[in-house]
Structures are given as C-alpha cells and as structure tokens.
C-alpha cells in the first residue's frame, strides 16, 4: 500500500510486489502478468500474508518504544496472521478499482512455497500491536498513490 491518504508511496521498477503490479495493471500503467508457479492451494496460486505498509511502520514504532523502555531484543514476526492467494488479491484489486484487467502469464519465479503466513502472537503480546488495515485499505491507498504518481517519484 501507501500512506493512508495515498500521498506517500513507493514504486519499484521492476517490481516483484503483487499489489503494486496488480494496481498498475488496473490503472493501465503497465500490463499485469502472473509470475507465480502452480502450487498445491485451492486456486493453485501461492498464499501469502499481505501486511499494509502503514501497519508495518506502526509495528516498528512499537518495537522502538519497547526497546527504549528497556525491552530485550527479540525476533518478532509481523503480518496479518491471515493469508490470501495471488488470485484472491488480483480479484480484490479488480473489485476495488472497478477494472477487470487482463491477466497475463510470464515465466514463473522459482522457489515459491505454497503458503507463508506470519504468526503474530508475539507481536500482540510483546508490542501490544496488531494490524488495523485490510487488503482493501492497501488497494485504495496504493491506487490513490499511482493516480498521483503513475511513474513513481519523478525528478
């Protein structure tokens, strides 16, 4: 995603990030292509834990507060604790943007596991943190960002 108001974002070129690429496809900035291999999930696409960038930032601030208050260094997983498949994300982007864009296929990336979802129990216990934004929030903020900056930050 981008900031909640869509004014601050990121545009990797080329991007390996599904949400960036799907939103760019929906807005007609560039064609969208699946890069995932077929895996053993209900729709045959990998399931991942897509965390909103602002939620991620807030978790890091909570971690800094924890450390500044004499907390011990710990490894803590961050995510939503839930997963969505690649095709679920693409369909959600189409629904939120109202654009049914073409889904191309390119060479699949190697080494993608079928499912990766963060266990956020420790983040809740240690940092008193949990995500507040949904995938729809991420799509809306990123769509706003790309409408303002279709080619990213330009000089």
pLDDT means over runs of 10, the chain (155 residues): 90 86 95 92 96 97 97 96 97 97 87 93 97 97 94 72
Q: Supply angle C-alpha 2, 42, 46, rounded to 5.
A: 40
pLDDT of residue 50: 96
Give the pLDDT score at 154: 72
Predicted TM-score (pTM) of the model is 0.91
Residue 63 near residue 69 (C-beta atoms within 8 A): no
| Residue 8: how many other CB atoms lie within 10 Å | 15
């Amino acid at each position: 995603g981008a900031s909640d108001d869509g004014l601050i974002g990121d545009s990797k070129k080329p991007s390996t990030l599904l949400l960036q690429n799907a939103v760019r496809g929906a807005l007609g900035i560039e064609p969208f292509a699946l890069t995932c291999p077929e895996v053993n999930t209900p729709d045959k696409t990998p399931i991942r834990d897509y965390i909103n960038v602002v939620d991620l930032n807030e978790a890091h601030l909570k971690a800094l507060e924890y450390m500044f208050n004499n907390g011990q260094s710990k490894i803590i997983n961050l995510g939503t604790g839930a997963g969505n498949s690649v095709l679920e994300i693409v369909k959600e982007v189409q629904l939120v943007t109202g654009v049914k864009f073409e889904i191309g296929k390119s060479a699949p990336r190697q080494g993608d596991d079928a499912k990766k979802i963060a266990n956020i129990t420790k983040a809740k216990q240690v940092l008193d943190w949990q995500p507040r934004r949904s995938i729809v929030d991420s799509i809306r903020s990123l769509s706003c960002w790309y409408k303002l900056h279709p080619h990213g930050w330009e000089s």
